[in-house]
Chains A and B, each alone.
Chain A
Amino acid sequence: MHSKTLFKQDFLKKWVLGLQYYGCSTKEMSISERTKAIKLSSDVAMASCRDGKTCWSRAVITDASKQGENKSLVRKILGNEYEKLTKYSIRSLVCNKRVRSKKILRKSRKSRPLVVLASTVIAKRMVNKRTRMLKDLVPGGDSIDDSFLLEETLDYILSLKAQVDVMRRFVSASESLICK
């Protein structure tokens, strides 16, 4: 419970840093841009709270820092840890490439003629399909093993919960400020 609170505080701090970064920029933004910016900053803040311990956080950070305009935001949020955390980008890129080739393989395998399926095969296929879906959902999930994927999902769900919680507080706080 205590670590959760700490995580939330940490996240809030970093998120506010990211928001300040956008606040400092004088450029006017549309709602969608602002939405994207807020989402990105919150995601990066949440990922940076995990200190690169998990795959998904590293994937979020590397994905964010891939785009040139977001790099400075990521740098601002991460601060000193920027170099350390973005190091992983090379590895994840390699992983992505490998996965791409796997996908090609899978496609070619699909052309096989279908045999009459046993129920176990169907069940396995269902599980595989859902696992693939989950891999798409969890950032950086493409390149990890199934058992590891579930671990990542656990961590990701917990972090998302914390993120949603903090964001809701933030929203309600700003709403109450405006209503005054």
Chain B
Amino acid sequence: MENEKFFGVNETNITTPLSQPPLSFFKSSQRPSDLLLPSNNCFLNLNWENSMDHQQSAQFESALSSMVSSPTNIASSSSPSQLPSREDSFVIRELIGRLGSICNSGSGRGDICSGGTFSSNTSCYTTPLDSPPKLNLSMMDQQHGNLPHFPSLVPLPTPDPGFAERAARFSCFTGQFGPEMSYRSTTNTPRVDNGRLSRVSSNKDFGLEMEMRSGFNAVSRSTTPDNAGLRDESSALSEQIPVDDEANLKGPRKRKAASKAKSKTSAIDDANNSNAKRSKAGEAVEANGTNSINTEGKETKNTEKVVPEPLKDYIHVRARRGQATDSHSLAERVRREKISERMKFLQDLVPGCNKVTGKAVMLDEIINYVQSLQRQVEFLSMKLATVNPRLDFNMEALLSKDIRGSMPQLSGVYPLDSSAASGGAFTYVHDSSPQQGPPQLQNEAAQYFVNSSDPGLRLFPLDGFGEAASQFAAFWGDDLESVVQMGFSQNQSGISIDGSLPSAHMKVEL
């Protein structure tokens, strides 16, 4: 419905005088008469989380327990930081972004700010620029009219039982909402590119929710006596929000649904038909959910456990005006996701890669690592070739030694061995360069490797294998000899390290 209109109004709100935005805003929410009250309300909502601590009664305990424990922490942590800024109306405008998130949490928005999603919210704190200010400003000027002294207002524990109920309701809808939102946070944090996209989404549905919440506030203020109707609204609103998240493929349909629910919520003023309305709203929500499920084809039935795709789809739809929903872009998205996942694995696998950000740099590291491993194989085979003048290895002795040496160790002290071995892999070339060392060191090692192995490859065809041992030193000079020496020293150091092990396989392992 007014989604677009709302956004348009929203952007103009920033430039228009203070009293103007709330007017248009609440006109859209069909409660122009409650101009002063909703802002008041949303300001007081700051204390909801706090008041819950004092006022939660036994009947709301379940709902409150379903609420994530962190919102209270966040609210308590955010409210003090917010107090000084509230006193200064000019500072508020400058800190609009921050206040946007805070005001969000303060006005009972448990769903985005709840739990671990706080970080995601702060990450997108630049985006709510258009939506929160109107709340702030309206709050400001009306607060000036009503209650000139803010700080006294803020810590004020709300004696109104309706507040407790509302708080409980919000808590329950944060409870039903918590998983999804926290899920969003988990998807946001690991992926870098996701964060940027989610900003858009959170911005958009944030605005929508702001609208709806303010509508809710207006209605709630007017109908504070009948709490049942309020509950209906809150349930409708709260369930509207996941739909926004999920009905990502259907932008227009989503708007339609939003408007439907909106009209519904505005229609719900009576406590009498609350049950019927509630069930209707629930049905609408469910229908929307099934719609999104059908169109997605990837979503699970459980709306609280959303698969990563829908969220991103939603973002893309929002970003590209519903054009990127064809199967190609979906497949592309899946492919990109796969790539980033593999990249993460590789990051764990390749040493010195876990601090690197950026795909190109990471690929560089991976390439270096693969190259170094390949050169090690080359080098080792070369070493083996020099050690054994003919390829008739004394297999029995060797294998008995090798197996005896390596196998118990492989099965027994494997972690120690692997770390020592992989560490030693580099020390072959570069003396005692730690494996986890900076990438330059490894590059250096690889470089050194190239320098030392290339002339050898060129020169080796010249000499027969008989005099190889003598020519070996002459051709290679200090390079390989030092390398071999290093290998031996590595060997000895390995022995000294593994001194506690039986001597049978001391010589075998490095």
A residues near B (Cβ < 8 Å) are 1, 4-5, 8-9, 12, 16, 19-20, 22-23, 28-32, 34-39, 42-43, 123, 126-127, 130-131, 133-134, 137-138, 145-147, 150-151, 153-154, 156-158, 160-161, 163-178
Contact = CB atoms under 8 A, between A and B. Distances in A.
A1 B335 CA distance: 29
Contacts of A151: 342
A174 to B, nearest CB: 5
B153 to A, nearest CB: 48
Contacts of A5: 407, 410-411, 414
19 contacts: A5-B407, A5-B410, A8-B406, A16-B393, A23-B393, A30-B465, A31-B386, A34-B388, A38-B382, A38-B385, A134-B366, A147-B335, A147-B338, A157-B349, A160-B370, A170-B380, A172-B507, A173-B401, A174-B393
Interface string B380-397: 111111111011111101
Contacts of A127: 359-360, 363
A171 B384 contact: yes
B384 A167 contact: yes
Interface stretch (B84-92, B253-261, B293-301, B456-464): B456-464
B484 to A, nearest CB: 9
Given A158-B349, A167-B384, A173-B405, A23 B359 contact: no
B374 A168 contact: no
A155 to B, nearest CB: 10
Given A23-B392, A177-B397, A42 B508 contact: no
Interface in B172-229: none
A171 B402 CA distance: 10
A169 B377 contact: no
A23 B384 CA distance: 13
Interface residues of B, number: 67
B418 interface: yes
B509 interface: yes
Contacts of B508: 169, 172-173, 176
| Max chain B Cβ within 10 angstroms of own Cβ: one of A32, A36, A167 | A32
Contacts of A156: 370
A157 B378 contact: no
B441 interface: no
Contact of B339 (A22, A147, A177): A147
Contact of B373 (A161, A170, A175, A177): A161
A123 B367 CA distance: 17
A1 B338 CA distance: 25
Given A157-B349, A167-B377, A177-B401, 18 more contacts: A5-B414, A36-B381, A37-B385, A130-B367, A150-B342, A150-B346, A153-B342, A154-B345, A157-B366, A164-B373, A165-B425, A167-B381, A168-B380, A170-B384, A171-B380, A172-B510, A174-B393, A177-B397
| Max chain A Cβ within 10 angstroms of own Cβ: one of B367, B385, B392, B405 | B385
Contacts of B1: none
B359 to A, nearest CB: 5
Contacts of B394: 177
A154 B342 contact: yes
Contacts of A166: 406
Nearest to A152: B342
A134 to B, nearest CB: 5
A153 B346 contact: yes
A149 B323 CA distance: 29
A20 B401 contact: no
B275 interface: no
| Max chain A Cβ within 10 angstroms of own Cβ: one of B335, B384, B388 | B384
Contacts of A4: 414
Contacts of A38: 381-382, 384-385, 391
Given A5-B411, A32-B461, A171-B383, A150 B398 contact: no
Given A160-B373, A172-B508, A137 B367 contact: yes
Nearest to B360: A126
B393 to A, nearest CB: 6
Contact of A170 (B382, B398, B418): B398
A37 B378 CA distance: 11
Interface in B341-373: 342-343, 345-346, 349-350, 359-360, 363-364, 366-367, 369-371, 373
A107 to B, nearest CB: 22
A43 B406 CA distance: 20
